[in-house]
Structure 1
Amino acid sequence: MTIHPQVAAALAARPRPAPETVDADPLAALAAGRAAMLAAVPAECGPPTPVASVSEVDADGVPCRLYVPAPGVPVLVYAHGGGWAMGNVDIVDAFCRRVADRSGCAVLSVDYRLAPEHPYPAPVDDVETALNWLRREGLGLDVGRVAIGGDSAGGHLATVVARRQRDAGRPLAHQVLIYPVIDPTMSSDSYRDLGGAGLDRATMARFWNLFVPDPADRLAPDVAPLAAPLAGMPPTLLITAEYDVLRDEGERYGVELLAAGVPVVTVRYQGVNHGFVRKLALFDAAAVAADQIAAALRAALV
């Protein structure tokens, strides 16, 4: 399929540093990338959907934003993307609002610590801390019905925490993985065949180096989700993008979950690139994907 014209508009909405700039001063380039990502939010994500209650909360030291469409509803715990090193709850605010509104579920968006200042396992621990806090505090919500989700690096954090919860005897009801990072070896065909539409192999390699600096640590199940047994993982909605270097590893994860007996729906959105789902102002497919996610949560939890 031909790449969608909206991809070009999306790439133009946020400047990215030239490779030579990144190589010359990686930390300065990261700071610039962080600032550019936040500055582009209005153009990329559009106006917010009204939700009955939106509040900033402290989840045992982890800042989060809580969206509650009504009292007593189930909850999605959500981790944003950004290579474990960029982004915050603002970049997924419009997405979380739409999902809360359309699903009837509350959304707890986790503002986890970022690498390289806080490398592995800090981001994983923060998401799990927020989840455990939610289950303990209740907050007037139905914390017996909790899902977890995330996009890109956030998808990685979500499924690692889902596996940890399974192993601790506290399984989650559902997981939503949006073009998740799965394979630290970056060995899938899509890394070779794609990469001209935003995210590329060099950028992912830098993110991995920031998140888990020691390659030996990347063999652990908390870093490489396919290193752990997958039976008993939550039923899963897994979304990928056709023009995304992470496409194949995400779809492979869906296949492996299915082989382990986990109910999985895997959907590849054609013509679009990495990051499209939160960019509601730029991609027609973003609203479709957000509403598909909301419908899946409503079916699983409500």
Structure 2
Amino acid sequence: MLHPQVAAALAVRRRPTADQLAADPAVQLAALRAAMEAAVDAECGPELPLPVVVDVDADGVPCRLYATRADAPVFVYVHGGGWTFGSIATHDRLCRRVADRSGCAVLSVGYRLAPEHPFPAALDDVAAALAYLRREGRDLGVDPSRLAIGGDSAGGHLATVTARRQRDQATPLDHQVLIYPTIDPLTSSESHETLGEYGIDRESTSLAWQTFAPHAADRFTPDVAPLAADLAGMPPTLMISAEYDVLRDENEEYADALLAAGVPVVHVRYQGVNHGFARKLALYDAARAAADQVAMTLRAALLF
């Protein structure tokens, strides 16, 4: 059953006007970006104070480091937003809560967005941030020898592709956390047919894929389509999906593929909620539960 908090959440964000939606794509995108940024306080709540919140230039990639203790392991977080919007600021409250509850540091990556910077720019930025963290982490006061990666939606896609590339480079990560990740460029699963009325739909996800990877041939390669890769040796995984999300079925398919490849997976489907719920700590009880589940998973994976 759809939770009543979903309808309330959908009413919070100020949507683009009819004139903005009728304008050229650049104006539409600017309106969507501005609406997401403007809704942060209403959707995500107040900032949780932490001992360390510092902006970092990771070899040209803007990042923000959150920490509650010295020499903590690090969770690299990659925000969602269809590869085209979202930012460190839109996911700030989620990162603060995870850092506070987990005892791990969180490095949030402000990667370049499409369409200004299509594939592979975002992946290159996440890789650059990881390389910087491995090299400079001790000077930042964290322990770069214990690393996990994660993200939501498009950020989950970038996180799991990065995890696979790190495996291939013999620098494997210790864990990955995938919050309703975008997995299938073909948007072929049944949930795209049946769940398109709860925030995102097949049209919007297809447009996001085309904007991120405008060359169709790229969408069949492992760096864009995670299911095209050999998944053996991927890091242990927490998968969080949402019952009323068009990505629900591809999330399940990816979790099953990881399991079939011998990867330890915990897949939790949050009932009654839709895509994007996890960062909206002020609107969803499930968001706070999910953030705390992520934190406890990281604590178990990296601290013990």
Shorter-chain TM-score bucket reads over 0.9
Structure 1, unaligned stretches of length 5 or more? none
| TM-score of the pair, normalised by structure 1 | 0.97
Q: What residue number does 2:227 align with? A: 226
Specify the alignment match of 1:119 in structure 2.
118
CA distance in 2 between partners of 1:178 and 1:69 (Å)? 23
Give the corresponding residue for 1:246. 247
Matched residue SS, 1:146: strand
Question: Measured at CA, do residues 272 and 19 of structure 1 come closer, stay the same or move farther in structure 2, by a change above 3 Å?
Answer: farther
CA RMSD of aligned residues (A): 1.2
Distance 1:224 1:148, change over 3 A: same
- Given that 2:16 and 2:35 are in contact with CA atoms closer than 8 Å, whether structure 1 keeps it comes out as no
Deviation at 1:146, TM superposition (A): 0.2
Structure 1 stretch 13-22 or stretch 210-219: which is displaced more? 13-22
Deviation at 1:212, TM superposition (A): 0.7
- Give the alignment of 1:280-295 within 5 angstroms: 280-295=281-296
Match of 2:62 in 1: 63
What corresponds to 1:207 in structure 2? 208
Q: Identify the residue that residue 197 of structure 2 maps to in structure 1.
A: 196
Point out where structure 2 has 5 or more consecutive residues left out of the alignment.
none
Partner residue of 2:157?
156
Please give the per-residue CA displacement for 1:51-90, whole angstroms capped at 9, x wherever unaligned.
1100000001000000011100100000000000001001
Matched ranges for 1:1-302 at <5 A: 2-17=1-16, 22=21, 24-138=23-137, 139-302=140-303
1: CA distance between counterparts of 2:199 and 2:186?
Answer: 20
* TM-score (norm. length: structure 2): 0.97
1:25: how far off? Answer: 2.1
Letter in 1 for 2:260: A
For residues 160 and 16 of structure 1, the distance between their equivalents in structure 2, rounded to whole angstroms, comes to: 31
For this pair of structures, how many residues does the alignment match?
301
One-letter code of the match for 1:28?
V
Identity, % of aligned pairs?
A: 68
CA distance in 2, matches of 1:191, 1:167: 32
